[in-house]
Amino acid sequence: MTFHKLLIANRGEIACRIIKTAHEMGISCVAVYTEADTYSPFVRMADQSIKLSDSYLNGNEIINAAKRTGAEAIHPGYGFLSENAKFARAVRREGLIWVGPNSRVITSMGDKLKAKDIAEKAGVPTLPMTTDPKKAYTIGYPILIKAAAGGGGKGMRIVEDKKDLKEAIAGAQREAKTGFGDDRVFIERYVASSRHIEIQILGDSQGNVVHLGERECSIQRRHQKIIEESPSPRVDSEMRAAMGDAAIKLAKKLKYESAGTVEFLVDDKTGEFWFLEVNTRLQVEHPVTEEVTGKDLVYEQLRIARGEELGYSQDDITWKGSSIEARLYAEDPSNDFLPATGTLIAYESDANIDARWDTGIEQGSVVGTDFDPMLAKVITKGKTRVDAANKLALALESLHIGGVTTNRDFLVASLRSDDFLEGNTTSDFIEKSNPQRAVVLEGSSLENATSAAALWIQGQNRENANILKEIPTGWRNSRLPRQKITLSYLDNEVEVTYKANRDGSFAVNEETTAKVINWTPSGIDIEINNSRFYSKITQDDDNIVVHGPWGDALFKILPRFTLPGSEVQAGGLIAPMPGKVIDLKVKVGSKVKKGDTLVILEAMKMEHQVKASEDGKVTKVLIKKDDQLENGALLMVVDN
């Protein structure tokens, strides 16, 4: 069953990741892409690329692309069609090799209700649940509503009180229908102080199964993981053995082939664990397992797909050190982690820091609403967990990024928090630890950033000068006013004045002395009041991203003369993110109470409810159902 050409039915960072290993194995790669991904790096990395007419969910078109290019195998990555049993069957029916478990296993595990039943029969403990909303009280509040098909946080709601149950079920069903084409949901006990621990398994066609230890994925927002690690600080050797045995027992009952993950919920206080689901694919967080075991999981998937035996037993699996992964998202942690869009003006990691960057974007990439907002996975390994956490925080801090709001600062704050470093990483970590959501520059940090920006722009202007270029900076034969530049930062104007001194330094804002050690088109090495730092700087039209010890700051260079701007209408309710209107709860004349849901928006297949901030009456409605909105669009006017 050997193959020489592989089609990757996915995009972004996972497509890049698969291509890398396949090329190391001498396997040629075919990419498929849509119009939105025309300029994406994975398309260039592939040996051939086929443009799809509509989406990555068109299984027939993807299979035709494989046959057209002579690809003998298809790797689905994760998301999209990776857990679609119908697609897996169609691939094999066409004589192609499917890199993953067979469709029977995907079908049984893709339905969480069937999966629970199989787990129980295999002797694996499961949480109390019901499919009947009228019996929710038998479980006891709080409860968790979950989609029967699919995962990734879609179709999931926590319900604290019976009065919220009906609306929560309706929202979960809509989201599940959109994400998975199946609106079935069920109700399960919610364990507030818990940990999400998953066991990585590998199985071959000869019946051999091993586990590669655990990953902890407890730190989540909007029911989606953002920080994962291996090993877990909560799991000892006894618990690892018990969970590993349970995972292998279930895998053998399923006759599992390929890579997969058995996910468990662990009560942090008692150590009791319950089966949650089996992910019949490669997981986003698989790199941390690779780092501590030395096993390339894509390599193992491709070997198993060729019919090869694992060639090792459970006793051969060892773990070394600690590895942590953070997911860098285009989102706004200060605004309930809502997705963000825009163009990446700057995107450059520090090559001197030992970190693994699994990414599918680059400087200039456009982040839209078509796909998941994850920009990159950043992975580090250390001899100890604290070493890995510190390295990861440093790698993120050193990233030069701008043009799109991200969760970078939040991730750094989380990794450097006492709770994280002490291993207190339960599922309520964000609520309990409340890491800083964003870095807002003020005081000396703001002055240093704006000074660096102003003097970099001054150097840029001199570099581009066509006349008198050899005249020393600041030379003058008369008394002239200071040079001035005005920057906008978080809607506030910051004025920077400067003049060159005879010794080559600059007097900035009268009281500050700055000396430019070196200027380049990509940054400035500067000393301000005897404190020296290097600042990476990227300019795009009137936007400038300035990186330094404070992280990154995005400034807008304001023109010397500005036209009056338009005013926001009083009482206006604006869209907190770009998205589609999927439900409009009010009309002109509706009376609303503070906290009432007025509009439901959908972006990246996740729902967000726009609620009333105060009591009032709707006097204008400027949108309708199915409208596609930009961030900040005026939705309606609510008067007191």
Last-in-domain residue among 557, 585, 620: 557
Average pLDDT, integer, range 390-413: 98
Please tell me the least confidently modeled range out of 161-165, 451-455, 560-564: 560-564
**pLDDT the model gives residue 214:** 98
Query: Per-residue pLDDT tens for 523-535?
Result: 999 999 999 999 9
Residues 420 and 534 in one domain: no
Average pLDDT, integer, range 550-576: 73
Q: Is 338 within a domain? A: yes
Domain CATH code at residue 612: 2.40.50.100
Share of the chain above pLDDT 90, in %: 78
| 605 compared with 161, residue with greater pLDDT | 161
| 602 compared with 239, residue with greater pLDDT | 239
Average pLDDT, integer, range 91-107: 97
| 47 compared with 189, residue with greater pLDDT | 47
565 pLDDT more than 50: no
**pLDDT the model gives residue 472:** 55
Q: Is 112 within a domain? A: no
What is the rounded end-to-end Cα distance, in angstroms, of the chain?
71
Query: Per-residue pLDDT tens for 326-350?
Result: 999 999 999 999 999 999 999 999 9
Please state the separation of Cα 530 from the chain's center in Å.
Answer: 39
Query: Per-residue pLDDT tens for 502-545?
Result: 898 999 998 899 999 999 999 999 999 999 999 999 999 999 99
Residues 65 and 201 in one domain: no
Burial 381-406 (b: 16+ CB within 10 A, else e): bbeebeebbbbbbbbbbbbbbbbbbb
Burial 432-446 (b: 16+ CB within 10 A, else e): ebebebbbebeeebb
308 pLDDT more than 90: yes
Contact 349, 326 (CB under 8 A): no
478 pLDDT more than 90: no
Please name the amino acid found at residue 267.
D
How far apart CA 214 and CA 306 sit, in angstroms, is: 26
Q: How many CB atoms lie within 10 A of CB 350?
A: 14
497 pLDDT more than 90: yes
Domain CATH code at residue 305: 3.30.470.20
| 579 compared with 305, residue with greater pLDDT | 305
Residues 212 and 71 in one domain: no
Q: Is 375 within a domain? A: yes
| 223 compared with 233, residue with greater pLDDT | 233
Q: In what order do the strands lie in the sheet with 273-279?
A: 273-279, 258-267, 194-203, 209-221, 224-230, 322-329, 374-382, 356-359
Residues 37 and 137 in one domain: no
Residues 201 and 347 in one domain: yes
Residues 413 and 461 in one domain: no
**pLDDT the model gives residue 566:** 41
Smallest CA-to-CA distance from 300 within 103, 109, 104, 100 is with 100
Domain CATH code at residue 453: 3.30.700.30
Residues 378 and 496 in one domain: no
| 275 compared with 640, residue with greater pLDDT | 275
* Domain total of the chain: 5
Q: How confident is the model at residue 235 (pLDDT cuts 50, 70, 90)?
A: very high
Q: At 600, phi and psi to the nearest 5?
A: -115, 120
1 pLDDT more than 80: no
Average pLDDT, integer, range 441-445: 95
Residue 81 is classified by DSSP as T
Q: How confident is the model at residue 467 (pLDDT cuts 50, 70, 90)?
A: low
Q: Is 356 within a domain? A: yes
Smallest CA-to-CA distance from 233 within 422, 433, 490, 5 is with 422
Helix (H) or strand (E) holding 252: helix 237-254
Give residue 598's domain range.
Answer: 572-639
**pLDDT the model gives residue 563:** 47
Residues 146 and 206 in one domain: no
**pLDDT the model gives residue 370:** 85
Average pLDDT, integer, range 426-441: 95
Average pLDDT, integer, range 146-165: 85
Residues with active-site annotation: 281
Q: How confident is the model at residue 470 (pLDDT cuts 50, 70, 90)?
A: low
Please tell me the least confidently modeled range out of 358-372, 467-481, 571-585: 467-481
Residues 141 and 250 in one domain: no
Residues 67 and 159 in one domain: no
Using CA of residue 223, residue 227, residue 230, residue 231, what is the dihedral sign? negative
Last-in-domain residue among 385, 404, 433: 433
How far apart CA 84 and CA 93 sit, in angstroms, is: 14
How far apart CA 109 and CA 92 sit, in angstroms, is: 19
Q: Is 438 within a domain? A: no
Q: Is 111 within a domain? A: no
Last-in-domain residue among 164, 189, 214: 189
User: What's the token pair of residue 547?
Assistant: 């990186």
Share of the chain above pLDDT 70, in %: 95
Domain CATH code at residue 163: 3.30.1490.20
How far apart CA 364 and CA 400 sit, in angstroms, is: 13
How far apart CA 634 and CA 531 sit, in angstroms, is: 45
Residues linked to residue 487 through DSSP beta bridges, in sequence order: 494, 557
CB hemisphere CA count around 295 (13 angstroms): 23
Residues 12 and 84 in one domain: yes
| 430 compared with 568, residue with greater pLDDT | 430
Average pLDDT, integer, range 127-135: 90
**pLDDT the model gives residue 575:** 84
**pLDDT the model gives residue 633:** 85
583 pLDDT more than 60: yes
Residues 88 and 203 in one domain: no
Q: Is 591 within a domain? A: yes
Tell me what the pLDDT averaged over the chain comes to.
Answer: 92
Q: Is 105 within a domain? A: no
